[in-house]
Structures are given as structure tokens and as C-alpha cells.
Amino acid sequence: MSSALIKIAGGTVYDPANGIDGEVRDLWIDGSKVVAAPPDSHTRPVRTLDAAGLVVMPGGVDMHCHIAGPKVNAARRMLPAWRESPAFREGDFLGDSGGRMPTTLSTGLRYAGLGYTTAFDAAIAPLAARHAHLELADTPCIDKGCFILMGSNEYLLEAIRDGEHERAKNFIAWLLGAAKGYAPKLVNPGGVAAWKNGRDGPVADLDERLNSGLSPREIIAAVARAAGELRLPHPLHLHCNNLGMPGNAATTLATMQALDGHRAHLAHIQFHSYGGDPNDAATFHSRVEPLAEYFNEHENLSLDVGQVLFGPTVSMTADSAVGHYLSRIYGGPWFSHDIECETGCGIVPIEYKEKSLVHAWQWAIGLEWFLTARDSWRIALSTDHPNGGSFLAYPRVIRWLMNRNSRDETLARIHPKVRRQSQLAHLDREYTLGEICIITRAAPARLLGLPNKGHLGAGADADVTIYLPNADILQMFEMPRHVIKAGQMIVEQGESRAEPPGKTLHVAADYDPTIEPHLAKWFDERYSVRFNNYAVNESYLDDHEVVSCR
């Protein structure tokens, strides 16, 4: 008998990846893994956890958030009131005043306090990867990884422009390995570099030839194709052009079509689903219906929602043009950050208001996506933390999804035009616990290509969340009864018990090593930065795991 054998007895298990939807059964853990029940019925575990009457799910997986890197630290500097509280370390997960921009310690503990055990930062500049990994290593309780920004990288754009597909593909693979990243990320493809070169206004036409000599369509198609050929566990992670602008749904639909069957994940789709005249905010409205219709018929696409919550937060994006645009709207502080011309960053404190026409539509549009996307396995819960709201608001979003009365109560308070025109008023669908388990755990893990996450079958990582059922859905999901990370109890009866470091998840795709001297020469000729400045030593990482390219 293993000295680390744990039995979770008699829980109501939700494990949709293995076809289990609310079945009472036992779960066995040996060390850091879920295992099959011992063949000897007399085997005694070291510990038995009585889960009778409790809900047992895999640990939550947040596939799109912003928790490390220059953008996060810039926001922390702009919001100096958020500080750690001694009570927080003692287990009071709501004890400090953070939420919008918590510290590394607070981030890890708060994710654990919600039952989440894995999170991916969605936008890390390659030259910032070393420091970002140090921050992630300082974030306890969760496994983590990051997507690497590439859409403004001049070497990559030059290779695409010159039609050198193999060179572009080799560079993507090399850069992911050097920066210890997990997937390629494009933000406003071509548009960020154009804004830096003096363009004022969004890029709405995918075929517009920009100052890079490329169109957004060419960049998207090339990177999506390369990611597919590299067989990366997660495909191109794409922040579409024309974010946040009335009428941008046309750009989003064109982007979906431009992928031409290549796999891609569309980030924070809510911010890309708007109708209306860009010059008249009063015409702002939802265009979820045609986008969802296309999405439902094309299995190469997946998405996370980027649900908006009412209240104050902070916008942070590698889309510098959007940051500048928001700063002019809100008239408050704005921070713009650039790293050797390979990406951008815009930080703006904002507040979403129920009576604002635009903000009310943004709230409704996110929920429309959740309730009209037919395949829950291709959609993930996100608030684009902190852009739509803090990840701490996930229980509120879950309540809206599971309880129509709850969302009707909010709908009754918001701008009357949205109440009249949104299809949300006519959507009766209410998520089940099994569907919540899919969009918060099983689907993100599958979309990320993490075979050991998001399920409770033999061989899975022993990341387990146990909830006390409650008619008050918000209360149920805000405070799990137990959270187990890699076989270790880290939350018990709502109190923190341990702060394990977690591990870093990254890929190591094959590439032609002859690209390295070419890169060294190319960077030496153009920049003060050497190509090996991108390399992240493994000493910067937590205990790490290389996820295989399939």
C-alpha cells in the first residue's frame, strides 16, 4: 500500500471528459495522480475524506487571464491601493482589498480559494518572458503557463512577407522554446505596428496592406498554418483586429473565414461581437447571432468569452491602439509600454456601468455567447481578467448561467434599450453542473491539449475541487469545501492549508537548429538586443513539465 494513498469517498462526481455526470462514487489518489480503485477491497488509505453529499470536480482551468509580465506590473503601479493583508495568509480568501490587480501571492491563493488549480497568462512579450516566469514561479497553488506575443515581431513578419514559410515556422518553434511559452499569440495582427507608425484608428479590413507590407489576413493565415504543422497542443491564440469598436463583428466573421479550416482559438470573443456605426455609439448593438451561427458549424474554432462585470477594473492589452482609444474615452491615466518594437501595451483604469448603453450591451453579449454556442467543449469561461472583470467574479458568472432569474434581475436594472433588444431576455437555457464543469475545467484543458488536466480518470493530475451544494449558486462556487492540488490538501473548510509552488507548463517544438546562427546575425545587424536575450533558463521556472506536441 502506498504511503500517500487517499480516498475521497462517496462524492457526487462530475467528470464530463469520462462521461460521468453526477454519479456517486469513490475517487482514489496516490501521490500526485488519480489512480484506479485498488484491486484489493481491503486496501486501507492513509486518509479517507468523506465526500457524501458533496460535489466533486476536477480543479478549475483558466485558459485566458493576465497575471504576470510588464502589463500587470504597470497596472499594479497605477492602482497602488491594493495591498496584502496579514489575514489573507491566514486563510481569509476575501480578507485583503485586492481583486483587480492582486499580487503574485494573492493571485495564487485566490485562484485556489475558488477551486482553480491551473491558469495561463495570455500575452507575454518574448523579451519579458524571463521576468514573467519569475513572477509565475512566485504565484503559488496553481500550475501555469503563458502564450508568447508574436504579431509585431519583425523577424517573423519579414519571413511571412518574403513567403518563407519554413523560416517562419522554425522561428515560431524556436521562440516558444526559448521563452518557455505554450502557444503563439497574435494581437490585432499588423495593427499594433501600424499604430506605432502613426496610424490613428482601428484596422477593420483584413486585406488592408499595412506598413509591415502585410495584411492581417496574411499574418493570421501564416501563423495558424505554422502552429498546425508544428502540432502544438494549443493552436494559434488570436486577439482579432478591431477590438471594441461598433461594427467589429464583420471583421471577426471575416477572421473566422480567413482561417480556412486551420485551428484557432478566438480570445475574449465578447469584445469582438458588436454591430453599429463606429462613429455613432448610440447604434451599438449585438451581433452574436451570425457569429455564433458560423462558430457552431466550424469545429476548427474555439473561444473564451471575456464576460464583462459591472464595476471598476483595469484594462490591459498588448493592443496599444485600444489602450490609447480607451484613455481618450475615460480621460484618466494611461500607460503605454513597448519592448524593442516587438509588441505593445496599454493600461487604463475603467469602470463598467449598468446604465451605460455600451457597457450594458457588453454584459449581455457575453451571456448571449454562453447561451447560444451549442458545443460547450469549444467554449471556456473567462472574464479576460482583469479586462472584463476580476477572475474572482467567476462565481457570479456561473450563477447567471445556471439561473435565469438571476440574469433577469440584472437585465431589469441595465440600460432599457438593451433590455428591449437583447436576445438574452428570450433565452431560457440554464447550465447544469455538468456543463459548468465543462466550460471551467474539461473544455479548457482539452483546448489547451493538457491530457492530465480537467478530468478525474486514472493518470490525471490529482487536482480536485469539492463543493458543498447550495441553492445559492454564488455561495457554492465562491467557497469550496476542499481543494486538492497534486494530491496535497491546500484548502480545507474554506481555509488555506498549504502554498505549494505548482509547476510551469510549456512546449518544446522541433525546429531546424540552423536557424540559430541566422537569428544571431539578423539581430546583431538590427538591434542592440541579442537573440539569446530571449532565452529563459530553467532556473527561472517552477518545477516544469514539457507538454508534448502531438
3-state secondary structure 507-526: CCCCCCCCHHHHHHHHHHHH
- Contact between 220 and 255 (Cβ < 8 Å): yes
Domain ranges of the chain: 57-448+456-496
User: By three-state DSSP, how is residue 251 classified?
Assistant: helix
Residues with Cβ within 8 Å of 159's Cβ and at least 6 positions away in sequence, in order, are: 165, 167, 168, 171
417, containing H or E segment: helix 416-421
Please provide residue 8's backbone torsions phi and psi, each rounded to the nearest 5 degrees: -100, 110
Antiparallel, parallel or unpaired: β 143-149 and 116-124: parallel
Burial zone of 381 (CB within 10 Å; 0-12 exposed, 13-18 middle, 19+ buried): buried
- Give strand pairing partners of 226: none
DSSP secondary-structure letter at 391? G
Q: Is 57-448+456-496 CATH 3.40.50.2300?
A: no
Look at the block and give the residue holding cell 506605432. 196
Give the predicted TM-score (pTM) of the model. Answer: 0.95
Nearest partner of 438 among 409, 411, 402, judged by Cα: 402
pLDDT (tens, 9 = 90+) of the chain, 550 residues, equals: 466 899 999 999 999 999 999 999 999 999 999 999 998 877 889 999 999 999 999 999 999 999 999 889 888 877 754 344 343 333 333 333 356 788 999 999 999 999 999 999 999 999 899 999 999 999 999 999 999 999 988 899 999 999 999 999 999 999 999 999 999 999 999 988 888 878 888 899 999 999 889 999 999 999 999 999 999 999 999 999 999 999 999 999 999 999 999 999 999 999 999 999 998 989 999 999 999 999 999 999 999 999 999 998 888 888 777 777 777 777 777 777 766 656 777 788 889 999 999 999 999 999 999 999 999 999 999 999 999 999 999 999 999 999 999 999 999 999 999 999 999 999 999 999 999 999 999 999 999 999 999 999 999 999 999 999 999 999 999 999 999 999 999 999 889 999 999 999 999 999 999 999 999 999 888 876 777 888 899 889 989 999 999 7
The whole-angstrom separation of Cα 114 and Cα 134 is 23
- Contact between 62 and 108 (Cβ < 8 Å): no
- Contact between 268 and 239 (Cβ < 8 Å): yes
CA dist 420 → 157, 285, 356 (Å): 45, 11, 15
- Contact between 111 and 141 (Cβ < 8 Å): yes
Nearest partner of 518 among 240, 166, 4, judged by Cα: 166
The whole-angstrom separation of Cα 258 and Cα 240 is 12
Look at the block and give the residue holding cell 477572421. 255
User: By three-state DSSP, how is residue 138 classified?
Assistant: coil
CA dist 148 → 32, 68, 85, 118 (Å): 29, 12, 33, 18
Residues with Cβ within 8 Å of 305's Cβ and at least 6 positions away in sequence, in order, are: 268, 269, 270, 366, 369, 370, 379, 380, 381, 382
327, containing H or E segment: helix 320-330
The whole-angstrom separation of Cα 484 and Cα 478 is 16
Nearest partner of 379 among 309, 307, 438, judged by Cα: 438
